[in-house]
Amino acid sequence: MGNIQDKLKAQGAISFGELKDKLYGKRGEEQREAHELDATVFLLGALIQKERKNKKMTQEQLAEKLGVSKTRISQIENGADMSIKLFLKVIMVLDLSAKIVVGDDFELPLS
């Protein structure tokens, strides 16, 4: 008796990875890389929104602390690009921590 994945595959089901390959191309292809980057930026915006709300802060309050408009905060929370400097300010204002890892040799903690 086969497992559930075998049964689903026999019925024509495909994995999420296979679906992304079909819709956006394989990893390393330009269209796929652009999609992955957009998805990551969107996720960061959602995380910023979640943390802002956890801190009981309005978009207006966050905007004031960052020196930007409420509209800009809304754009960022909905997946718009932001500068590295603004991203670092967001981390500081929301009292978050993050780190950038480059290869095996370099790690930059952000907090």
Q: Where are the domains of the chain?
A: 4-110
For the stretch 76-109, pLDDT in tens is 999 999 999 999 999 999 999 888 888 888 888 8
For the whole prediction, is pTM greater than 0.85?
no
Please tell me the predicted confidence (pLDDT) of residue 92.
Answer: 94
Does residue 10 surpass a pLDDT of 90?
Answer: no
77 CB burial (10 A radius; 0-12, 13-18, 19+): buried
Between helix 84-93 and helix 59-66 the angle, nearest 10°, is 120
Please tell me the predicted confidence (pLDDT) of residue 101.
Answer: 87
Please tell me the predicted confidence (pLDDT) of residue 4.
Answer: 82
The CATH number given to 4-110 is 1.10.260.40
For the stretch 23-69, pLDDT in tens is 888 989 999 999 999 999 999 999 999 999 999 999 999 999 999 99
Does residue 1 surpass a pLDDT of 70?
Answer: no
